[in-house]
Each structure stands twice: as structure tokens, then as C-alpha cells.
Amino acid sequence: MWADAFHDGGIKRNTLDRVKNLARDDDEDTADRFERGELERIAHVKTRRPQDINLVMFAS
């Protein structure tokens, strides 16, 4: 995205050119997903930060 914005002239320089990607762990390719029961409990947590719950529910 940053490279595209730079090439399109939207930004003067791509500061992320200097940032290197981290090496992947060889242990597992994906994280363990939540089970349906866990998601149900998370969805009903009373909180002042509903965006956190929305993030978990969206990513699952």
C-alpha cells in the first residue's frame, strides 16, 4: 500500500522501504482459533470497549 502511494505520487517517500519483514516461525503456520463456546462468551462480555470484541469476532 505504501509503495503504491509513493509511486502514485500520494506521498513523497516510502518510509517503510527501510523496514524488513520478520522471519516466520517454523512451529505453526496459523494461530489456534477460538472454539464456538469461547466466541459466545467473548461476544457477551460487558465492556466499555466494544471495538475489542468486534475485532475478535471479525477475525474469527
The pLDDT tens digits of the residues spanning 17-31 come to 888 887 876 666 666
pTM over 0.75: no
Q: Encode the chain in three state secondary structure.
A: CHHHHHHCCCCCCCHHHHCCCCCCCCCCCCCCCCCHHHHHHHHCCCCCCHHHHHHHHHHC
CB 52 within 8 A of CB 42: no
How large is the greatest C-alpha to C-alpha distance in the chain, in angstroms? 48
Q: Is the pLDDT of residue 41 over 90?
A: yes
Mean pLDDT within 21-48:
81
